[in-house]
Structure 1
Amino acid sequence: MSAPLARVELAHPGVDPASSAALIAAAHVVAAVAAEHGDQVDREARFPQEALAALREQRLLGAMVPTAYDGAGASLDTIAAICQILGAACSSTGMIYAMHQIQVACVAGHGVGSSWHESLLARIAAEQLLLASATSEETIGGALRNSGCAVDADGEHFHLLKIAPTISYGAYADGILATARRHADASPSDQVLVCVLHGDYTLQCLNTWDTLGMRGTCSNGFRLEAAGQVAQVLPVAFGEIADVTMTPVSHILWSALWLGIAGDAVQRAKNLFRGQARARPGSLPPSASHVAEAVSQLQMIEGRLGLALARQRQRHAAASVSASFSLAAEMNGLKTSVSEMALQVVHQAMLVCGMAGYKQGTPYSLGRHLRDLWSAPLMINNDRILANTANLLLADRS
């Protein structure tokens, strides 16, 4: 499959094309490793350790760290292109990479000026640390903007106890960014984001991760208990971090990942379709309309994602970093539409591939694509997002 996001990035003013091209080339190296082990990762529901080793070897975990801290300084366009490439090879690897870069974006976007967080950025680049996220909570569920647990500060030190239903790849991460109430008397929405590294916390696994898809993300539930310096709390309120960085970056990178999964499904369908056409020259196979529909839907996803990336570049160029109702509604719409349309694309591809797509172990197998993409509308459930979007549109006067 072609890489339209990479082409967008290479044309982006102010970005070194050679650096972007090198990162994209490195992503293809990792993708080959991820694809080799993808079926085993899925079958055994195990962490894609070979792909992570390749990500570290190619220095891609620090890709989004600014150059001032010895990272590659990659833009969101480049990271989205990498997510797309990895998603086409192994959905779990692509999701782990996307979620890691979301955390890096939060630290880079809101930790500059804090010596502890600037040191963390340098360590991510130098040591290729893998960051995870703990935002869900037993008493709150997936309500991102509320927390039950609280930071218990005593002078310059803090203690935190959080029961999280899921922490993706938590057992394999080098650090975790956890949401919590600012203090014990704070309201559920008065949140901060706390960065904790190995040595700062303990994890007690609470359940197993035996799911329909995205099996390699190993998103078990954990009892997270952490202690450290108050300086590890990001200096900006989590509400601002979520509005300005976490939500838009999450929805863009997830959409790029889903595009990669759907794009690989379409490529498999096109390969089968061409073989059928060559076998019967002069007549189109019966699946012709499904191929055309799948490609059309894929192009719509590419267009929607490309527009979101272009608008993010415009905001960055204009130094417009404040959140708005329109930005939130736009990013919510990106997530809900792409998560559902990607499933439709694979459905069309399955109709093209027929039993060859339904069976495991063929060059046209699409079962893993379909199972992995069913996570898309469920990750921060689309119903919750659409209800939030409706409230935003009521308040928006633009």
Structure 2
Amino acid sequence: MDLSANALDQSVKARAARVASVAAAHADDVDRGGRFPREAVDAMKSERLLALMIPAEFGGEALSYAEIAEVCTTLGQACASSAMIFAMHQIKTSSLIEHGRGATWHEGLMARLAAEQLLLASATTEGGIGGNLRNSICAIDVKDGRCSLEKDATVISYAKHADAILVTSRSNKDAAPSDQVMTVFLKDQYTLEQTHTWDTLGMRGTCSDGFLFRGEASAEQILPHHFAEIAAQSMLAASHLLWSSVWYGIALDAFVRAQSFLRAAARKAPGSQPPGLVQLAEMSASLQTIRSTVVAGLSTFEKAHHDADRLSSMAFAVAMNNVKIAASEGILPIVHQAMRICGILGYKNGTPFSLGRHLRDAHSAELMISNDRILGNTSQMLLVQKQDTSLLG
């Protein structure tokens, strides 16, 4: 039987490319309608991308964060909303893996995630606390081996389409706002009452509506580590690195469109230099800077991965914060330059060089989590953190 190359190539790179092709075909419609990218997520499940990080002993492929980041970039070039959903799912998966090992229920969930390709979502924001995920107002109630929780979650990305949601709360009704836990609730264990609608400039397909979340489950579904540890040792780095990889993908596709535009212009006027060629060179340098920043961040994380003290250190937090700041602030100038190069064909929708979606999606980067909040936290740490003055660290 004559099998196609696609059928034969089961590498992660090829699988991600096939998902990206599906995502790209629907990206404009997803953006225009502000709808969930069902086709792309179904393709992710079909290609078994949702369990890439799950340890092999539970049926996953045990991919590294760098390999996951590569998939984020591949998808980011096709549809930023689809890529961000993939990234956010992997961030929650990392919390489950790093902080659920040794707990029977959570290890069982890992096996289910691999077998059934479950989609994980997150509810860390809450009315009354702004964007400070390290504080909670709501508190989980534990009684007779059961837990219950009600949370005014102002944003839960793709909540209506998730198979489980990881929710933060105070550890009990008498706990301080920063004394938090994270609990996994399966789809049949909670209800969602919509309170806010996600009608935004960009990242429209993430469908990050607000909900009043009410859940009840077994108490063993509470992750066995305090959320402070989860945030510092896995969530901080995974969020900043995987988000940045998505943003790099957006900028990379903008560059490719500008490059294609200039190549077409050069073919029409052989021997002449099309306007915008120098800007393309500047974009290339900027892209390399972002890429190098993300790659260096991934390397720093991998070196610190199994060292809890290092992961919780101020130096590590500053390094991860800097990756997020550099990537989120670096992509907008690249997309702007691409639009200047492509001109009206970049400004218009429906052309091979359209960049409106890229520009709007890129604006989300500085707001997830707010760069002002991150810079404020970093500045406080720098008052006591000694700066590394070496080149290689």
TM-score, shorter chain, exceeding 0.5: yes
Contact 2:310 2:316 in 1 (8 A): no
Contact 1:141 1:165 in 2 (8 A): no
* TM-aligned CA distance change 1:347 to 1:21, over 3 Å: farther
Partner deviation per Cα, 1:179-208 (whole Å, 9 max, x = no partner) = 100100000000111111011111111121
Contact 1:205 1:220 in 2 (8 A): yes
SS of alignment partner, residue 305 of structure 2: helix
CA distance in structure 1 between the partners assigned to 2:13 and 2:301 by the alignment: 20
Partner deviation per Cα, 1:148-191 (whole Å, 9 max, x = no partner) = 00011112111100001110000100000011001000000001
Which of 187, 196, 213 is matched with 1:207 structurally? Answer: 196
1:286 corresponds to which residue? 275
Partner deviation per Cα, 1:34-61 (whole Å, 9 max, x = no partner) = 0011111001100000111101100101
CA distance in structure 1 between the partners assigned to 2:205 and 2:273 by the alignment: 39
Consecutive unaligned residues in structure 1, runs of 5 or more: 1-19
Instruction: Give 1:278 deviation, angstroms.
Output: 2.1
* TM-aligned CA distance change 1:164 to 1:319, over 3 Å: closer
Which of 109, 117, 126 is matched with 1:128 structurally? Answer: 117
* TM-aligned CA distance change 1:364 to 1:164, over 3 Å: same
2:340 corresponds to 1:348: no
CA distance in structure 2 between the partners assigned to 1:51 and 1:77 by the alignment: 22
Counterparts of 1:110-189 in structure 2, within 5 Å, are 110-189=99-178
SS of alignment partner, residue 166 of structure 2: strand
Q: Moved runs in structure 1, 4+ residues, more than 4 A?
A: 317-321
Q: Which amino acid aligns with 2:162?
A: A
Which of 17, 30, 40 is matched with 1:41 structurally? Answer: 30
Contact 1:24 1:78 in 2 (8 A): no
Q: Which amino acid aligns with 1:236?
A: H
1:304 corresponds to which residue? 293
1:9 corresponds to which residue? none
1:68 corresponds to which residue? 57
Counterparts of 1:260-271 in structure 2, within 5 Å, are 260-271=249-260
Count, aligned residues: 379
CA distance in structure 1 between the partners assigned to 2:309 and 2:283 by the alignment: 36
Contact 1:175 1:195 in 2 (8 A): yes
1:102 corresponds to which residue? 91
Partner deviation per Cα, 1:331-389 (whole Å, 9 max, x = no partner) = 11111110010111101111111111000000000000000010100111100000000
Consecutive unaligned residues in structure 2, runs of 5 or more: 1-8, 388-393
SS of alignment partner, residue 235 of structure 1: coil
2:186 corresponds to which residue? 197
SS of alignment partner, residue 353 of structure 2: coil
2:371 corresponds to which residue? 382
Which of 217, 236, 239 is matched with 2:225 structurally? Answer: 236
CA distance in structure 2 between the partners assigned to 1:115 and 1:185 by the alignment: 28
1:316 corresponds to which residue? 305
1:51 corresponds to which residue? 40
2:264 corresponds to which residue? 275
CA distance in structure 1 between the partners assigned to 2:46 and 2:90 by the alignment: 17
SS of alignment partner, residue 244 of structure 1: helix
1:5 corresponds to which residue? none
Q: Which amino acid aligns with 1:184?
A: K
Partner deviation per Cα, 1:72-98 (whole Å, 9 max, x = no partner) = 111111110000001100010000000
Contact 1:205 1:221 in 2 (8 A): yes
Report the TM-score, using the length of structure 1 for normalisation: 0.93
Q: Which amino acid aligns with 1:152?
A: D
CA distance in structure 1 between the partners assigned to 2:308 and 2:191 by the alignment: 39
Which of 71, 78, 81 is matched with 1:82 structurally? Answer: 71
Contact 2:345 2:351 in 1 (8 A): yes
CA distance in structure 2 between the partners assigned to 1:261 and 1:134 by the alignment: 25
CA distance in structure 1 between the partners assigned to 2:182 and 2:135 by the alignment: 12
Q: Which amino acid aligns with 2:164?
A: G
Partner deviation per Cα, 1:101-130 (whole Å, 9 max, x = no partner) = 000000000100100100010010001000
Q: Which amino acid aligns with 1:371?
A: R
Q: Which amino acid aligns with 1:370?
A: L
Contact 2:233 2:308 in 1 (8 A): no
Q: Which amino acid aligns with 1:329?
A: V
SS of alignment partner, residue 72 of structure 1: coil
CA distance in structure 2 between the partners assigned to 1:240 and 1:184 by the alignment: 20
SS of alignment partner, residue 205 of structure 1: strand
Instruction: Give 1:282 deviation, angstroms.
Output: 2.3
Contact 2:76 2:84 in 1 (8 A): yes
Q: Which amino acid aligns with 2:344?
A: M
Greater shift, 44-53 or 285-294, is seen at 285-294
1:11 corresponds to which residue? none
What's the RMSD between the two structures over aligned residues? 1.4
